[in-house]
Structure formats: structure tokens, C-alpha cells
Amino acid sequence: MTDTRRTVHLAVYDTLADWETGHTTAHLARGGFTVRTVGPTTDPITTMGGLRVLPDLALADLRPEDSALLMLPGAGLWDSGDTLAPFARAARGFLDAGVPVAAICGATAGLAREGLLDERTHTSAVSFYLAATGYRGGGSYVDADAVTDGDLITAGPTEPVAFAREVFARLGVYEGKKLDAWYRLFHDSDAAAYEILNTGS
């Protein structure tokens, strides 16, 4: 039986931005987590890069109590209508249940439209991108690579490594020196961090 404390759900939908969650999912799996994909239905979706993904489960079957974290990648669909609004509503359910949500790129705009950024510190691509949603959280916007506010993680589209770092910190995948070393290795190409990451010293 799957340990829900070690299961992370990755939302997948057409036009998903392939590059934004690769670091996160790969190292979650290496850290002993199970990554399950959740789509609008269980029909295949096609990413921005043309990859076809068959979701493990449909959004209607996703429950916060079965998950350690919900991850929402960016996608062109976030800015072209309300197709992905049900995923933002699911994020509200997760946050209300005390289960973390991590959103990057266009998914932050979806959360803004849902009102989930009005009173939480957050970031995105740029402040005016979120301002265009009409949300009321502009005063809580931070110009940073990634931001964690309690159970909510946000990041912009050019920061997949920082996004991963925040997820790892929140779930305890890497901590302290190892977390810093992981970030320096993959963000800064710091070869000296490799030994720290693999030996802890």
C-alpha cells in the first residue's frame, strides 16, 4: 500500500511546461517519494515539448489526505481561459487541509485568480503578470527566485532549481548543508558541492 506521507502528486495537463518540475520529481523519487500524476481525466495529455503523459489518476479522485504535496507546473492553458481553474480549486482544498502546494510559472496566476495569494507571501515571473489577474495580493509579492509561506511554495518560470529547493526543504528531502549543496551544484554548477551532497561533509 502506498504511504501517503511519501506520495507527491504532480498535476499534468495539455501545454504543461516540461522543464519546470524535472529537478523536483527526479530527486523526490531518489529521496524515497512516489510521484503520481493527476490529470483533468485519465486521458493522455501532451506537454509543451510534445511528450504524451498518461495520468495516474483524474483530478476528481485526488484527495489531500492521500498526498504529501500537490505540485502545479506552468502551462499555456493557465492564461488562455478557465480550463485549469479546477486545479486551482484543488489547491485551495489542499491548503485548507494543511497539505502543501507548490506552484510555478503560470500556475501562480491560477492561484492568484482563485484568491490564494491575496494574503500569502509569494512570487511569480514578474509582479505585473499577477497584477493582470486582478488579484488583491500585490502587497505580498516578493521579487525572489522562489518563496515559501507556510504550506505554499511559489516560483517563476526561470527558477526550476530554486523551486525544487523549496519543495525539498518543505518535505525534508534534503536539509542544512546538503540542501545548500544540492542548490549550488544544480544552480551554480559548483563542483565542490558534489562531495558535500554525497558525503554530508
Whole-angstrom distance, CA of residue 154 vs CA of residue 149: 9
Query: What distance in Å separates the CA atoms of residue 107 and residue 111, rounded to the nearest whole number?
Result: 6
105 as an active site residue: the answer is: yes
CA 113 – CA 164 distance, rounded (Å): 24
CA 197 to each of CA 19, 63, 153: distance values in angstroms, whole numbers, following the listed order: 23, 34, 23
Looking at the chain, how many residues does it have?
Answer: 201
Distance (Å, whole) CA 63 – CA 94: 8
The cell numbers describing 175, all together, are 536539509
Q: 148 φ, ψ to 5°?
A: -115, 125
Catalytic residue (choose from 45, 62, 95, 105): 105
Contact of 35 with 8, CB cutoff 8 Å: yes
Cell representation of residue 10: 504532480
Q: Classify residue 125 as left (phi > 0), alpha (psi -120 to 50) or beta.
A: alpha
Residues catalogued as catalytic:
105
